[in-house]
Amino acid sequence: MTEAAFIPFARPDIGPAEIEAVAQAMRSGWITTGPQTRAFEQAFSAFLGGGSDGDLQAIAVNSATAGLHLALEALGVGPGDEVIAPTLTFTATVEVARYLGADAALVDVDPVTLNIDPARIEAAITARTKVILPVHYGGLACDMQAIGAIAQRHGLRVVEDAAHALPATHQGAPVGRLDGSAATVFSFYANKTMTTGEGGMVTTRDAAVAHRLRVMRLHGISRDAFDRFSSKTPAWYYEIVAPGFKYNMTDVAAAMGRVQLQRLPQMHQRRQQLAGRYLRELADLPLVLPAPAPAGQSHAWHLFVIRLSERARVTRDAVIAALAQAGIGTSVHYVPLHRQPYWRDRYQLRPEQFPQAEQAYQRMLSIPLFTAMSDDEQTRVIAALRASVR
Ligand SMILES: *Cc1c(COP(=O)(O)O)cnc(C)c1O
């Protein structure tokens, strides 16, 4: 047994600047949606290359799940509609379709990238299909050109689940500002590439979608909370135009997000460095390492997912147990949705329908990758993997 400290699978990277910003927001007398949230939205849009003319709108919400729900709602997804998504994802990606009475059509993934397989999308399209919902798995952008072409051919909208993909690029353009997408949804959950504790952001270049999102994120009030307290019309007057939700971000969270966003390029650099070292130093083991981004494209490196290769003489579960014994946390992303009782039973899904996700699931684990991880901690992870995988 090692006496060394436990290395978690992920740990948030919160510094004194975040703590000071949160304290300031709390002292300001304004803690719910207000000036910090507005400034965070503007900074987020600018970060993705949006101009001051509002060509790219960023709408802050209290989770990515809320953002996905709002995005589908804004596109008019409703009972009887279908949303196509990969089976290898978190349930939040598709549970939001059910909130609206719509259904999820789960499809298999590409064996190399573990992203949704465009050929499977095409095969899953029915008269009920309304939206394609790709997930940039681990932080590697999906083949958005192929997905966009399919959407265009069939008159479908695209909503990106970019919970892993900040900051990622696709053919030189940042995820969050890609052509052909109706909306892109980011997560600031505690273990994501930047965090506000809980939080999310939706970006869109569609003014109608942006307007609907702003109305529906706060009770269906016809103008948003910030305007209500800053515009010239009396503050008490508002109009309800729809039965909206309570999905707004607090200024306390936004204050933290503004600092995290400023630190994001440097945090991303650290993730790239850690991932690069794993790729080099694990290359000789019987492992399938994550596919790097194509040339000229940037991987967000939210996750580092390894798979035991055919040559490996140990099981995935044995590797997880050995790492735990060495004081190292791991995870599995994900138990595919077709194996989850709710989705499996609702659509009578069988593992044989998803051979690639099945093959990956049996052999995969995610190893520690977080910006606050030290070189020494990474050395320990590599050594423990080396010892366990033989
Ligand atoms: C984390 C995550 C979500 C949900 O994000 P929240 O901000 O926790 O709601 C959705 N999709 C994927 C792929 C995720 O990893």
Give the DSSP letter string of 179-223.
TT-SEEEEE--TTSSS--SS-EEEEES-HHHHHHHHHHTBTTBSS
Torsion of CA 8, 14, 19, 25, to 10 degrees: -110
Ligand 1 centroid to Cα of residue 92, in Å, is 6
Q: Ligand 1 pocket test: pick from 93, 187, 301, 302 the residue with the most ligand atoms within 8 Å of its Cβ.
A: 187
pLDDT on residue 323:
98
- pLDDT tens, 93-151? 999 999 999 999 999 999 999 999 999 999 999 999 999 999 999 999 999 999 999 99
Cβ of 37 below 6 Å from ligand 1:
no
**What is the token pair recorded at 55?**
């060509």
Residue nearest to atom 2 of ligand 1 (CA): 163
pLDDT on residue 352:
98
Cβ of 96 below 6 Å from ligand 1:
no
Q: Which residues of the chain have pLDDT under 70?
A: 1-3, 224-231, 233
Paired sense of beta strands 287-288 and 305-308, if any: antiparallel
Contacts of residue 375, Cβ cutoff 8 Å, sequence gap at least 6:
none
192 a catalytic residue: yes
**Measured between alpha carbons, how far is residue 10 from residues 53, 317, 375 in Å?**
38, 19, 15
- What domains can be seen in the chain, in order of their start residue? 16-261 (3.40.640.10), 264-389 (3.90.1150.10)
Ligand 1 centroid to Cα of residue 200, in Å, is 9
Cβ of 213 below 6 Å from ligand 1:
no
Cβ of 72 below 6 Å from ligand 1:
no
Q: Ligand 1 pocket test: pick from 93, 95, 136, 186 the residue with the most ligand atoms within 8 Å of its Cβ.
A: 93
Cβ of 115 below 6 Å from ligand 1:
no
Report the C-alpha gap between 59 and 101 in whole angstroms. Answer: 24
Ligand 1 centroid to Cα of residue 378, in Å, is 26
Cβ of 135 below 6 Å from ligand 1:
yes
**Nearest ligand 1 atom to alpha carbon 188:** 7
Percent of the chain with pLDDT over 70: 97
Residue nearest to atom 6 of ligand 1 (CA): 64
**Measured between alpha carbons, how far is residue 281 from residues 276, 289, 383 in Å?**
9, 11, 10
pLDDT on residue 343:
98
Its pTM stands at 0.97
| Backbone Cα Rg of the chain | 21
Range list of H helices, the chain? 16-27, 35-47, 64-74, 92-99, 118-124, 144-154, 207-216, 225-228, 251-281, 316-325, 341-347, 355-363, 375-389
pLDDT on residue 1:
47
Tell me the β-bridge partners of 231.
Answer: none
Cβ of 89 below 6 Å from ligand 1:
yes
Number of separate helices (H) and strands (E) present in the chain = 13, 12
